[in-house]
Amino acid sequence: MKVFIAGGTGFVGGHLVRALLDSGHSVRILVHGRSTNSGEVEQVTGDVTRVETFEQSLSGCDAVVNLVGIIREFPARGITFERLHVQATANLLAAAAGNGIRRYLQMSALGSRPAAVSGYHQTKWRAEELVRGSGLDWTIFRPSLIFGPHDAFINMLAAQLRLAPIMPVIGSGSYRLQPIHADDVARCFTLALEMPETIGQAYELCGADRLSYEALLDMITAALGRSRPFKPHLPLGLMKLIIPYMQKIPQFPITMDQLQMLLEENIGGSEWQKVFGFEPRGLREGIGEYLRKT
């Protein structure tokens, strides 16, 4: 099967490309820069927010995978949830239909739902609605926090903890997460291509470990070979007043959307394991592989 991937150059995309190639599929990915051939992966140039720039590039493909997503907006640069989640999805669906491609896989996010509070989840849900109404043979995946080599979140926390054994925590720190390894997410996407029973279904992808944010910090420091950090608690009410102003600075590490998603928690069930037939990798082992000192 020849698979067209939008978002294939990102963190999860790298894992998915490897999984697809290992399973005998061929891959064509959409890139922003100059199109080149790189080994077994074909690259085509286009802008996912402008369907006319890439629609013809889907010719000859059997399936489309949309991994495009952002966790933070930069409106001055045209980087918004509306453009990258909703408009990009609409364009990919139109391009798939225009090329007669029936199979379509979408990466959404755990917590996407009607009447979501965060703009991130709102636009992820609206993108899902477009997929469900497309008439294509779709499957939607809603991963929790994804970890693995070169991830953003775990590596960011680890980098700060390497500098000093202190990590401020907003609020109680008891809000829970259930991270899943990028390899497990990629495996689900790859398996779904050969599983007709996944058509018309949406799956929450959560890992084996459900732990609080504070416990996650302790696990990261253990993986770094260090003792538990000092975790001063910042008043939630105060941070809700400060963050809306500070988030305008690109270097500020958190936005109100991200805070809201943390407070909501990022946990789910294990039903997907029954469908895809494997257990997720453990968080402690997984982060230990790439945070361990070399």
* 135 within a domain of the structure (yes/no): yes
Structural domain boundaries enclosing 19: 2-148+180-207+267-280
Q: Which H helix or E strand runs over 137?
A: strand 137-143
The 3-state DSSP class for residue 53 equals: helix
Residue that has been written with the tokens 């009447």 in this structure: 115
Whether 43 and 35 have beta carbons less than 8 Å apart is answered as yes
* 142 within a domain of the structure (yes/no): yes
* 245 within a domain of the structure (yes/no): no
* 60 within a domain of the structure (yes/no): yes
* 85 within a domain of the structure (yes/no): yes
Whether 27 and 61 have beta carbons less than 8 Å apart is answered as no
- CATH number, domain at 102? 3.40.50.720
Per-residue pLDDT 10s for the chain (294 aa) are 999 999 999 999 999 999 999 999 999 999 987 655 567 899 999 999 999 999 999 999 999 999 999 999 999 899 999 999 999 999 999 999 999 999 999 999 999 999 999 999 999 999 999 999 999 999 999 999 999 999 999 999 999 999 999 999 999 999 999 999 999 999 999 999 999 999 999 999 999 999 999 999 999 999 999 999 999 999 999 999 999 999 989 889 899 999 999 999 999 999 999 999 999 999 999 999 999 854
Predicted structure pTM score: 0.95
* 234 within a domain of the structure (yes/no): no
What's the total number of domains in the chain?
A: 1
* 246 within a domain of the structure (yes/no): no
* 102 within a domain of the structure (yes/no): yes
CA count, 13 A, side-chain hemisphere, 93: 20
